[in-house]
Structure 1
């Protein structure tokens, strides 16, 4: 049992795993190097994900097994997934195996081939590199994220729809054009008349389909919106909820397939498909780009989500939640 007397891992914050003196003090006072943390259960996993190479090295010298798994992942896998190459090198120096099979074919070494440091490990004979499809997904992710740019604001919503035009989206939603003056007024102060703001959406054609976007509000990702948009195709919805984080949904052919997903999140599990594990890595902390990629959209810029929509529309009054 871990107690809050200085001998366990309690009260160590995220940045505590970069503090070698603190970690050594806890270890010397009796903290278990193999277990007892709140998030990943294993201190080495915590340090590999968010700590320093010095702390990783210290813990790796004290654990029973440097390749111990938690939720299907070794500490080395987490270091690779979180783009911490220095931590990965420290684990390799401690004897970690980069080619240990896990995560539906994505060993730490194989996943590293999709990272900004693809030469982190030497690919041994007989180990599979990236397939042509996977390499293309990596290249497209880098292009797409660069094209969309950094998006730090919360409170917006979007729907990425494959294979239909903005005009077709307008027809499916039975929406009507909005005057530019009304749009400008909403943009200046979306909270002045929230009902009016929530009824206005922007729609933009992009290569591969179209994007419905609302700068401040959740309407673009409402179930009724993405269900209508997805008839005969697929639609990825996102509400960047400032209170609870990114809330995603996927609709296919008029029906919700997945609800309350977390696009851009870091949680990935071995039972997920190999394609989804790779996508989760590639679009970690990139929720908007994840939705574009899921729908197969290939924008060349960010105008569809930065207030420069092709046209602004007003949704009809109805229950968009059913």
Structure 2
């Protein structure tokens, strides 16, 4: 079996299917061998799957405990971001360095101190002290994130910051005075009768602007995002309930399209770290909660599901070009 074939057999890295790997390194794939995916090792993959028994076996075969993959992540980093406490314990007992910088200067231990794994690290020698202000900021973001727990809308939505509601409408090529707020009955009729696609535009009580569409992806269409943010402003949006990605535009330019569970890197936005992007299991927040929290954090725009359906909105025709 080739390295690439073995790398794709997920069950091979789980304790639930040990027969494939326990007798000897499979197919000559020794514990120090580099796998095709990001230059990781078998120990990385076992850590991602939380396979504490397999980790012990690989270490007994002579696997290095702290190898870095192409991103700089160690097996301990992977065990932390996937939330596997047993794997963390085994790696720490084997001498894995909790304070070794891995991604963007961050160590596995530092990441863990903001998760439910904190008790495994807080009393270790060299543990950094998390200042009360930083802890308060993260707690505030987490609280805002969890406030989206009941969000259940499948449509496309974008939040806009730094631009007024009237200016958004003007940038979309419409006249604000011709797009007055309307109630539900008029809303559906106007959308149905329009010869072109329309956007719902509204300003929530706390500030910012919300663009949404019950069918289609107009709020994050390149043309819309470019028009709305050109000349100043930021837009962040997507399909929070069904997609793990968020489109981010600033000043008329697409700056990022991060995915919730994608490994972060040295160039990742600070807000991604605060909203638990890159965390695959160490924090109980959902993909939807993280995406909406990021959208709020970037734009200072916050909504409730009840407001989305009850607030008068403005129907803006948009001709794509």
User: Does the pair score TM above 0.5?
Assistant: yes
Range moving further from structure 2, 19-28 or 141-150: 19-28
Q: SS of 1:238's equivalent?
A: strand
1:313 lines up with 2:317 in the alignment: no
Q: Could you say which residue in structure 2 is the equivalent of 1:288? A: 292
Displacement of 1:125 = 6.2
Superposition map of 1:16-31 within 5 A: 16-19=13-16, 20-25=18-23, 27=25, 30-31=28-29
**TM-score, structure 1 as length reference:** 0.76
**Residue aligning to 2:282:** none
1:79–1:88 Cα contact (<8 Å) kept: yes
Separation (CA, whole Å) in 2 of partners of 1:95 and 1:108: 13
Mapped partners of 2:152, 2:101: distance in 1: 36
Residue 14 of structure 2 aligns to a residue whose secondary structure is helix
Stretch deviating more after TM superposition (57-66 or 160-169): 160-169
Asked if structure 1 preserves the Cα contact closer than 8 Å seen for 2:237 and 2:295, the reply is yes
Matching residue of 1:106: 106
Match of 2:44? 45
Please state how far the C-alpha of 1:229 moved relative to its aligned partner. Answer: 3.6
More relative contact order, 1 or 2 (CA 8 Å, 6+ apart): 2
Deviations 1:236-290 (A, max 9, x none): 33233999863512223xx21415x124242212344666545434788332322
Larger strand proportion, structure 1 or 2? Answer: 1
CA offset digits 1:215-248 (Å, max 9, x no partner) = 3321111234334443665323323399986351
Contact 2:165/2:201, CA 8 A, preserved across alignment: no
Distance between the aligned counterparts of 1:170 and 1:59, measured in 2?
Answer: 60
Distance 1:225 1:215 in 2: 16
Is 1:258 the counterpart of 2:262? The answer is no
Q: 1:91, CA displacement in angstroms?
A: 1.3
Cα deviations across residues 20-73 of structure 1 (Å, max 9, x unaligned)?
A: 333325626533222354434312112212333223333333343110000211
Could you tell me whether the CA contact under 8 Å between 1:102 and 1:270 is conserved in 2? no
Partners of 1:111 and 1:14 lie apart in 2 by 27
Query: What residue ranges of structure 2 are gaps of 5+ in the alignment?
Result: 280-284
* d(CA) in 2 for partners of 1:218, 1:124: 48
Q: CA deviation at 1:123?
A: 4.7
Is the contact made by 2:187 and 2:315 (CA closer than 8 Å) also made in structure 1? no
**1:269 alignment partner in structure 2:** 265
Query: How many equivalent pairs are there?
Result: 305
Deviates more, 1:235-244 or 1:50-59: 235-244
Matched residue SS, 1:201: strand
Q: Single out whichever of 35-44 and 169-178 deviates more from structure 2.
A: 169-178
Following TM superposition, by how much is the alpha carbon of 1:166 offset from its aligned partner in structure 2, in angstroms? 4.5
- In structure 2, the residue matched to 1:207 is 206
Task: Give unmatched runs, 5+ long, in structure 1.
Answer: none
Q: How many angstroms apart in 2 are the aligned matches of 1:62 and 1:274?
A: 39
SS of 2:147 mapped into structure 1:
helix
CA gap of 1:64–1:14, structure 2 versus 1, over 3 A, is closer
Q: Who is 2:54 aligned against?
A: 55
| Distance apart, 1:295 and its partner CA | 2.0
Cα distance, 1:152–1:111 mapped onto 2, change above 3 Å: same
